[in-house]
Amino acid sequence: MGMLHTVNKSPYSCNTLQSCLSHASEGDVVLLIEDGVYAALKGGAAAEMLSSAQGVRICALSADVKARGLDGRLIDGVEVVDYGGFVDLVEQTDKTQAWL
Amino acid sequence: MSDVKKFLYVNRKPPHGTIYALESLEVVLIGAAFEQDVALAFLDDGVFQLVKGWNTEELGSKNFQPAYTALGDYDIQKVYVEKESLEERGLSEDDLLEMTYEDEDDDWAEKSSIRIVSREEMAQIMRDSDVILSF
Amino acid sequence: MSAGFYEVNGKQVPHDEEGYITNLSDWSKELAEVIAKQEGIDMTEEHWDVVNFLREYYDEYQIAPAIRVLVKAIKKKFGPEKGNNKYLYELFPYGPAKQACKIAGLPKPTGCV
């Protein structure tokens, strides 16, 4: 059923996302939370990293997206999920790895 | 007054993940009472602090973004934002909050405090400051 | 003062050890009168001008203004005869920012120790 990866750091100050993506396998889900959501900002250098990730589902946590003024400004292909959606992802996957 | 020093507050962290941004803002507000020559610098992820349109309702934390727009009342007239940091993040000046001050020397005309500067200019601004507080 | 409650219309409104209310949404005009009384202040129209102004300022900027900023802003809105330290201290003898903020149901102003 794949693994859920959470990333909570900005891709512009840490290589957390980069490391996560290079360890994620097909069928995995990467959920961007806290400052991790900045990776999905349209036009940003880090967004390319996400769009080139093959076979990995990319999600971003709604509360964190809105708090940062990024609502409606994310690249296509990123699913915005609320806290309930976060719980669903945990349920749907075998295990969770929190990339810190 | 000869004892006025040039203070520069350097902001490099995004607004919500850590306490740095809020702490910096508080120190700036408190420090304003000392009537020094204060400037703010936003670079690296610090530029995210000024991206407008925060809605923290779902996050359940206080939205402290409006406080940035009060800084003009505290005589803060120089807010330097690094151009390269904006561009790397797909941002431009249009994405930023409006920050203004009233110019005493120009019949209290309302002017923008935000000045977009290059990385090279930012380095010079740092060299020209007497005291740098980094967040 | 220690942390406790203000009594307003038979309802208890919690405050901290300095008398600032804990939940900003608990504020009402009646509560303001109660806090003022405890501070030894009889609320007049002039007091209300300052208190209302502080509430509007907080609503817009989410901070309570420093005294210097308050004086400047009051001067702009109500004119120089009200926008000065002397006038504001006559209204709120224990510090306009501190005391008026307490009555207005705002947090203690940043930088006010």
pLDDT at C9 over 90: no
Fold (topology level) of A3-99: Hypothetical Protein Ychn; Chain: A, (3.40.1260)
pLDDT score, position B118: 98
In a domain, B37, yes or no: yes
Q: Is residue B1 part of a domain?
A: no
Is the pLDDT at C111 greater than 60, yes or no? no
Q: Is C112 a catalytic residue?
A: yes
SS3 C24: helix
**Does position C113 have pLDDT exceeding 50, yes or no?**
no
* Complex ipTM over 0.95: no
pLDDT number for residue C76: 87
CA atoms within 13 A on the CB side of C79: 2
| Chain C environment of B69 (Cβ under 8 Å) | 61
How many beta-carbon pairs under 8 angstroms link A with B?
Answer: 73
Per-residue pLDDT for C47 more than 50?
yes
First to last CA, chain A: 23
Contacting residues of B for A70, CB less than 8 Å apart: 51
Q: How far is CA C97 from the centre of its chain?
A: 7
Strand order of the sheet with strand A29-32?
A78-81, A57-61, A29-32, A3-7, A95-99
B17-37 burial, b for 16+ CB within 10 Å, e for fewer? beebbbebbbebbbbbeeebb
Q: Quote the pLDDT of residue C95.
A: 86
Tens digit of pLDDT at every position of chain B (135 positions): 568 999 999 999 999 999 999 999 999 998 888 889 999 999 999 999 999 999 999 999 999 999 999 999 999 999 999 999 999 999 999 999 999 999 988 988 999 999 999 999 999 999 999 999 999
Pick from C62, C73, C110: CB nearest B73: C73
Q: Which domains does chain C have, with CATH numbers?
A: 4-104 (1.10.10.370)
* pLDDT, tens digit, 9 for 90 and up, residues A49-64: 999 998 999 999 999 9
For residue B39, what is the domain's CATH number? 3.40.1260.10
pLDDT in tens, C60-104: 999 998 888 899 889 988 999 988 989 999 999 998 888 999 999
Nearest chain B CA: its distance from C60 CA (Å): 7
Residue with tokens 């075998």: A94
Inter-chain touch B58–A67, beta carbons under 8 Å = yes
3-state secondary structure chain B: CCCCCEEEEEECCCCCCCCHHHHHHHHHHHHHHHCCEEEEEECHHHHHHHECCCCCCCCCCCCCHHHHCCHHHHCCCEEEEEHHHHHHCCCCHHHECCCEEEEHHHCCEEEECEEEECHHHHHHHHHHCCEEEEC
> Would you call B46 an interface residue with chain A, using a CB distance cutoff of 8 Å?
no
Q: Output the six-digit token pair for B119.
A: 């990385």
Q: Tell me the CA end-to-end span of chain C in Å, nearest whole number.
A: 16
pLDDT above 60: residue C30: yes
Domain containing residue B36: 6-134
The 8-class DSSP code of residue A9 comes to S
Q: Identify all chain B residues contacting A62, using CB atoms and an 8 Å cutoff.
A: 58
pLDDT at res. B3:
83
pLDDT of residue B57: 96
Q: Residue A9 — φ and ψ, nearest 5°?
A: -115, 150
Confidence of residue C105 (pLDDT cuts 50, 70, 90): very high
Q: Where are the domains of chain A?
A: 3-99
Using a CB–CB cut-off of 8 Å, the residues of B that contact C are: 26, 29-30, 32-33, 62-67, 69-70, 73-74
Mean pLDDT of the region C42-53:
95
How far apart are the C-alpha atoms of C78 and C29, rounded to whole Å?
Answer: 22
Q: Which of helix, strand or coil describes residue C40?
A: coil
